[in-house]
Amino acid sequence: MAYDNDFFQSESDVGRSLLKAENGRFTVEKDYKPCASAISKHNWGNITHEADEDMTTSVLLIVALVLTICAVAFQIIGVAPPYWVSIDTVSLKMHYGLWTTCTEVQTGTTCEDSDADEDWKKAVRAMSILGLLVLSVAVFMTVLKLFVMKDKKPVLFAGIGTSFAGGIFILIAVAVFAAKQNDELANVDFTYHFAFAFSIIAMITAFAAGGVMLFSMTKE
């Protein structure tokens, strides 16, 4: 079979094909530069977009991790010392927390263990400790999500849940304690001390950490 032309050329939107007859054999040359360029730009755009989203998610999780660690530290400071309430009057000077009551006398300060003889005191202690433990779990879950199980959404769900749960437990503790103190010390001049404030800060920080993790989930 003979061909009058040395080559046959066809062109389309996807590219250009060139057929040449040389020494009785056909060779095909393809020029897909326009299409390849468009595909490359599209793929590069997707890659950079995904990289930006991954970077944003990582930054948010790092922020959440810092917040949960701070919440745990704040709650430890809140639970441990005997400085939830301070009473300073002419006849009485004392301060106490969840576990210890300290009274100032002329010879110095004496401290003794506080009796949890009422149900509300037991509840405040339990909620405070539960809040601390659950926030510790939130730290662990955030570390897992950030460094080990990066593609596991259930780990992120667990981190979000434990952060909010820890904040709720602490909220119950400080709310019950404040309500009872306002009732029992209605006629006494007292102030809430720094440990009580740190528990409130821990609660707010826990909620903030949960919110940051919840927002990071929308970026995945």
Residue 134 vs residue 26, higher pLDDT: 134
Domains of the chain and CATH, by start? 55-218 (1.20.140.150)
Residue 197 pLDDT greater than 60, yes or no: yes
pLDDT for the residue 1 = 45
> 61-119: per-residue pLDDT in tens?
999 999 999 999 999 999 999 999 999 887 788 999 999 999 987 777 888 988 878 89
pLDDT digits (tens, 9 = 90+) for 12-52: 444 444 444 455 454 544 554 555 555 555 554 555 544 45
Phi, psi at residue 192, to the nearest 5°? Answer: -80, 135
Residue 154's Cβ-count burial label (10 Å; 0-12, 13-18, 19+) is exposed
Reduced to 3 states (helix: H, G, I; strand: E, B; else coil), residue 212 is: helix
Please give the model's pTM, rounded to 2 decimal places.
Answer: 0.74
Element (H, E) at 56: helix 33-79
Between CA 188 and CA 113, with CA 168 as vertex, the angle to 5 degrees is 45
156/115: higher pLDDT: 156
d(CA 135, CA 64): 12
Using pLDDT thresholds of 50, 70 and 90, give the confidence band for residue 148.
confident
